[in-house]
A and B are shown apart, each in its own frame.
Chain A
Amino acid sequence: MVTATGGLDTALRAHSTDHAWQVAATVTDPEIPVLTIEDLGVLRTVEVADDGAVHVELTPTYSGCPAMDAMRDDVVLALTHAGYDEVRVDLVLAPAWTTDWMTDAGKQKLRRYGIQAPTGLAAARGAGPVRVQLAVKCPRCDSLDTREIARFGSTSCKALYECRACLEPFDYFKVI
């Protein structure tokens, strides 16, 4: 199944780059399976070289996020399955990932999944150590009458909230 692709001409390479991106973009977050790494803004670049080697750049969400290992392995696996026999994945820190890069489609998928998407832009978080927080909407009933239970939730990227209207707890994807 896996064959050497040899020298690709330019048109085919452009096509392959496009194709390779689409293949890499099918990889999902192991903790939030409704989100692809493209939705998250974690997939930064995909390039296919003359000899068919694919070079992918991912950027980590949080510095210590263990899901990055899985995402990186899944990208290699997805591209290998699609016939690319040489795949290299680099992790880049700059520019630093922000929830501002999450796609609108990704935010909608998150809400349908029961996780409220980041509310507001990273720059609007404010600067001082004592600060005010924007109200976070309940992803189930849309009420703004919610309460933060814990700033640090089930994963690095989420906080735990409770809705006072429908009384359900929910995860909130923190702005960063």
Chain B
Amino acid sequence: MRDLLRLLALGRPYARWAAAGIALNVVVVLANVGLLALSGWFIASMALAGIGAIQIEYFAPAAAIRGLAVLRTVGRYVERVVTHEATFRLLTELRVWFYEHLEPLAPARLQHHRGGDLLSRIRSDIDSLDTLYLRVLAPTCAAIISVILLLGFLALYSVPVTWVEASGLFAAGIALPLAAVRLGRDPGRRAVSIRAELRVIVSETVQGLGELLITQAAVRQAEAIARLGTSLVGQQRRQAWISSISSALSGLAAQLALWGALVITIPLVRAGSLTGPDLAMIILFVLASFEAVAPLPAAFLALGETLAAARRIFDLIDAPPAVIEPRCGAPRPQIFNLRIRGLRMRYADDAPWALDGLDLDVPQGEALGIVGASGSGKTSIFNVLLRFWEYDGDIKIGGVALRELDGDTARSLFGVVSQQTHLFNVSVRENLKLARPDATDAELMDALRAAYLEEDIAGLPNGLDTLAGENGARFSGGQARRLSIARALLKNAPMLLLDEPTEGLDAASESATLDALAKLMKGRTTLLITHRPAALRIVNRVVALRGGRVYVGEAEAAA
């Protein structure tokens, strides 16, 4: 229930669209019931008038019948356009809201969620949330309003028939759908999670097909996919049975209401308390009135899946961010020396310390090389400096405590070249402009030249407009690295964090890249993580890490 309210609150900006859709829905339902009931009354009256039993003025009802027909038709069209417009607006709102809430969690809180899983969340879950308005909220509200009006009208003629009608509507619109929801909750929940799992396994199979083939695991993977596919169909089959039974029973409830109305009203006509045309009208009224509750079974069924999706989304984004940013960040430092004292951090409360009492000093404009075995905490220093993870201890840049800076200000201080830099599947130009949105092509080419990429890019069929491919697939590892160097050049930040900048390069391009980096590092305070001796020639000093702290002291290295 709380999830539902939270979802509804998200849609508040579009409440008017939503209300208009519901009002139109009511108009359409009432027009249809009115059309059929009036038709029944009309032909019975005309038949009785024909045999001279009663007198009738027939122009007004005949015109009303035609008018209701047009109202229903046009009303339906406008209603559909309005409800869909409302739905899509809501969908955009949801996507943006989800991204905005996800953004502060990256990367610390997302490492346990796999990319495919996230995609599935954003797509399936948010897409299934669109059913909230179109298939749940709008039909439910419209049904409630229509039913109240319909029952009120019927009560003018016969209270017992109203009770029969009310119980029929209750069974078809509420009792049966609720039973269906209860039964459908379990398969619905499972279908959502199987679907997510299936999507992940398909996407990792596409990505790692080569390894699966070589290790002979392809067949097993294929079987796993087939198995998941079959069990998804199994859940869907249960849902299909539940929905077809509940919809058939809802139909039966409508027919029983009709039957009951007949049985009650026949003696009333005999007794003279109800006219013949009224009976004909009531029969068609009851028959048509069930259209008002017809969408409810589907609505209740969709509600289960929607709430499951909502739960998963709320679970994900409700995680507290790893870093609490200051309410009002300190001003950006003006000098850029780095001073670290007693730095400790770990990735989870039960994880070992990744950094454990680290002390470092880097004077402004100097370059410090950091070496150490993998797992010794080198990359963790960067995660802390970039404010991706929280830390204990003391870090000061130009005398300002890092903790007092807001994350964006802290990150604006650093140019970064790392293993994890992502190339977006947009053009090379857009990938570079990320670092400096107003850069001219000439500036981009300068940066590419400095990163020894000018020829590579010029050689591409579309030059700067070439798409980078998924995860930068268009480029080799070395090219991707040099692209991220070009980005760092463009960003022109006062400090640099370089994580294995020359990894994956052949020796010739390594030395060229190092030359480019040496130029870039001039005047910039730099931390360089590397295990390549060649790279250490461009730093002033080198420290080695072990177990999250400096362990051989500071060994002077020849620049």
Indicate, yes or no, whether A interacts with B: no
Chain A residues near B (Cβ < 8 Å): none
